[in-house]
Structure 1
Amino acid sequence: MTIDSFALQVWMRWRSLAASLNLATGNFNETCDACGQLLEHPQVATWVACSYPVIVVDEAQELAPPRLRIVSALAPHASVFVAADEFQCLDEDLDTAPFMAWFQGGNTTQLNHIHRTAVAGLLNAGANLRQLTAPGVGPGLTFNYHFPNDAPFRVGAAIAHSHGSVAVLFPPAGRAWANAMAQRLGQGLYSANYNIAPIRLILEPRASDEIAAVMAGFAEADVMSPVQIAERFAQLANPPSWIPHVTSAAFQGLNRQSKTLWSTAELRALVERKAASFRAYSGDRVRGVPLLNIHQAKNRQFDHVIILWPHGVPGGDELKARLLYNGITRARVSCKVFVRAQALLQEAPFTFNAA
């Protein structure tokens, strides 16, 4: 489950104590901070540890202070395993110093072996970007500029000639170019030198957007039976494909555990689990090549990755290096980066001015 859902679940269970302490809730930052304050009471943390004796937190470098408060309050009471890489934080406005200070005070193990790939060009580029030096081309990695009329043909050929899983990624500010590329490739590419059948690029909705849309019809104070949950879901205009899995799990809870009622917090946690499971394991996705922003692609891997790098990627040199790093490191076999303008290859993250 997400840490926000976990915070809401704890707050709902201990809302009487929260009220007596005048803990404010509203947006998720406030709810997470209130949860952290509740967990600083030993009886609350002990109760949580009984249900969750082992807690695993991934992508912990992006824990803002309200969420860090939750994890640090639980650490004395449960076995907490935290995975983090400060360089992979893609929020330039987030100060990672408080988390890193707390993190380094624990029993840390540095993971140095890369299992994803053994391709030299991909490995060297990742190592260079972490040092804010030019990634450079190499085996498995190319940087390309092509004239606007030629670029769709080159991208289409790169997709069509790849064997294995393929994904097309774009950084912030790249959605418009990605959408235009998807439309062009979907028409097929034919010329004297190319004969490429139509290619479907499927822009995946963000999981958080799907979950927010599904849960928008539920108030935080709602308590529902599985039948009521199914009725609410039936009213959704465009339900995600994983909704039947949520409904089935709710009825299984009734049949196997006599669970007759679900709070909104419990339902949100179930929705998040089923959405994540569907994305990870389902073979029922729409057929096509995934088109993802780089944030969405974190924790996913593909044999071949194509990155569309546009004008106007926001942030400083280091953030751009982190974005390109996260894109390249999704690839197991090859990564081809296509830039919108040749001049971009003379700017970060493709080259860096000496200090």
Structure 2
Amino acid sequence: MPPRRNDASRTGQRPRAGTPRNPGADLSRLPWGLDLGAVRVAEGVRAALACGVVLLANEWLGWPPLVYMALAAFFTCLCDIGGPIRFRVPALLAFTVSGALVWVCFGLLRDPGLPVVLPLAFVGLFCLGMARVWGAGAAAVGNILCIVLVVSVGQPLAMHEAFEAGIMFVCGGLWATLLTMVVWRLHPYRPARNAVAGCWRRLAELAADQRLLLLDGAGTEAWDAHGRAHRRAVREELEHARTIVLDLVRMRGRLSLRGGQALLRLEACDQIFGSLIALSDLLDGERDPARLAAAETLLRLLRPMLVVLADAIAADTNVRAEVLERATSRALAATAADPLLHPLAEAMAERLRIAARLSTPGG
């Protein structure tokens, strides 16, 4: 007997749409869409400038080999996926040299005919496609080299023409590397850094306001009003920053070092926010002078630490870990005798150390 079918048509239910993680059997239901947020206008303009300047020089000088330089400059800009310069420069230089060799070799191999060049081109495309095993940077280089290989097969070259093409390809790659690394450097993670730094500044404002309430001897109504006004503002700032960071990570197509740092700093900020909420609930209606004095010292030391971290994140500079460590040690010493305040101070100090460690060369 035929096997039973367990599908949506027998149960009367509509087929469920797929997801990127579990697309299902019907791939036509995979939710693909146009993501306009992934369009990187500045990088496109930079690539067009790298190519356009050389093309204008070609129109002025009337020397056709400059076209190879223009194509090389355009392709080299496409290979730049961002990240630390120490990783980007080797990738761009490797593409420049490899692209010149590919163009020279397959331009010369095109002259014997398609029966010779096509099998070699298939092998070359396969090998270049396997470059993705070395990471996203190598994958970008391999993909663009595949395009270079296909374009180079289209026209046979004599020996002197191949030599000119190789030299001009190297010149175009070096020009694009100079443009992307020195002349027009892009900072794709600057919006994420500014958003995360804004969250830390919100925390500093929250800590300062809590200290003022503490010094004024505010009652329950004042603490409740402060919580309604300020907690929502901090939470909205955190969610806004999280949206920016995650959108940027999705746009880049991978979780880079910068993206991971932004997410960890944001989570540390969120956890300190939770500790400040617990601290305000603890101080609401508190009358113990020793506890109030310890809490005032904690909040007084906490605010400048939060400001220093916010400025370091926004400017992408290092934090002097020894200064931060002295401040956290003083805060922990001030709350050491209180069994309720000390765990909160320890939790905030640990999150501050994590954020500071991410802002140092070793982090």
For Structure 1 versus Structure 2, the TM-score category normalised by the shorter chain is under 0.3
**More helix per residue: 1 or 2?**
2
Query: TM-score by structure 1 length?
Result: 0.21
User: Greater relative contact order (Cα 8 A, min sep 6): structure 1 or 2?
Assistant: 1
Richer in strand (by share)? 1
